[in-house]
Amino acid sequence: MSEARRRIAVLMGGMSSEHEVSLRSGAGVVGALRGKGHEVLPVTIGKDGLWAFGEAGPLPFPDAVSRLAALRPDCVFIALHGGPGEDGRIQGLLDLMGLPYTTSGSLANALAMDKIRAKAIVAAAGVRVARQVVMDAAAWRRDRDELLARLRSDIGTPCVIKAPCQGSSCGMTINNDDAALAADVDAIMAVEGRILAEEYIRGTEVTCGVLDVAPGAAPRALPVTEICPRRSAFFDYNEKYAADGAEEITPARIPEETARMVGETAVLVHQVIGCAIWSRSDFMIGPQGPVWIEVNTVPGLTPTSLFPQAAAAVGISYADLMELFVESAMRASQSRLRQ
């Protein structure tokens, strides 16, 4: 780990449905980096879009950008989930400001955030994905009966219905009642004006982190984690964040060959999407083997979140992991400046 003392701004909060989760991640990051001896400034973005630097009063966005530029931190740690923090907008801003940051770049974030487009890229690389139907609100209003028939014939029920650009399982449901299919589509369509409906895959839910911090080395798959929801049919918001939520088992109780396939696929997805530093891919292991679901470029970062759990399984502590992200971000920024 680095012995240099860095000035690090930690962005958290944000305007997305994952605001509260982001605050938890940010608090964990702040504590870990301060424990490592770094100068850390929490920057909390409110649901109203105002930025608060430490204990100072909130600032509107233009003033906040000026404040961040004046502070000139060595690195910006992005602990924002969803919205601008995970769709490439914050990364683009920081690129223009010349500030290093701890996530993939703006293009990879934007692509990964859109599950429909990310899935198309990943499928083109030969990765097994779930069968799907995509529709927007205009088509749904115009041809509701035809689209319902297509859903039933192409993917059947039960099925998974998602708003394509949400995270933490927000804007998602599993339809188990064919009679309620139209109502479920209506509910999720209202979130973004389009949906991604996928076949429901019965099997074991797993996730695999990819660590991409070693200079000159290939990205590395961390141990696979098995996710066992206690009450819900899937890994929903409550299963993720409630104290008595899902059981998370690392390493996953799956055959060694299956775990190898999951790890290799997670690394491939990381590369074809263009991710850097870290990512985490989610899978369902069905009767035919692993099926890739999505990639997360800024997954949860509390000390007990899935990615830190997997890192701990190979001997990387939470605080060391946070510092690895910072050091990798600074090397990546220096490399971009030389190009």
Q: In the chain, where are the structural domains located?
A: 7-102, 111-126+202-297, 132-199
Which residues 6+ apart lie within 8 Å of 167 measured at CB? 16, 17, 18, 81, 82, 86, 296
Q: Which residues of 226-238 are buried (b: 16+ CB within 10 A; e: fewer)?
A: bbebeeeebbbbe
C-alpha 130, offset from chain centre: 19
Q: Is 101 helix (H, G, I), strand (E, B) or coil?
A: strand
Q: Rounded CA gap, 247 and 267, in Å? A: 25
What is the fold of 7-102?
Rossmann fold (3.40.50)
Residues 172 and 236 sit within 8 Å (Cβ to Cβ):
yes
Write out the two tokens for 248: 């998370």
C-alpha 50, offset from chain centre: 23
Using CB atoms within 10 Å of the CB of residue 185, give its burial: 0 to 12 exposed, 13 to 18 middle, 19+ buried. buried
What is the reported pLDDT for 115?
Answer: 95
Residues 258 and 231 sit within 8 Å (Cβ to Cβ):
no
What is the chain's alpha carbon radius of gyration, rounded to the nearest angstrom? 20
What is the reported pLDDT for 236?
Answer: 47
Q: Which residues are catalytic?
A: 18, 168, 241, 280, 282, 294, 296, 300
Positions in the chain short of pLDDT 70: 1-3, 167-169, 230-245, 334-339
DSSP class of 129: B
C-alpha 120, offset from chain centre: 18
Q: Rounded CA gap, 261 and 176, in Å? A: 30
Q: Is 128 helix (H, G, I), strand (E, B) or coil?
A: coil
What is the reported pLDDT for 170?
Answer: 74
What is the reported pLDDT for 83?
Answer: 85
What is the reported pLDDT for 16?
Answer: 86
Please choose, from the candidates 68, 60, 58, 61, the residue with its C-alpha nearest in 3D space to the C-alpha of residue 94: 68
Question: Domain 132-199's class?
Answer: alpha beta
Helix axes 115-124 and 106-113, enclosed angle (nearest 10): 100
In the CATH scheme, what is the code of domain 111-126+202-297? 3.30.470.20
Which residues 6+ apart lie within 8 Å of 120 measured at CB? none
Write out the two tokens for 105: 């770049």
Number of other CB atoms surrounding residue 225 within 10 Å: 22
pTM score, whole prediction: 0.91
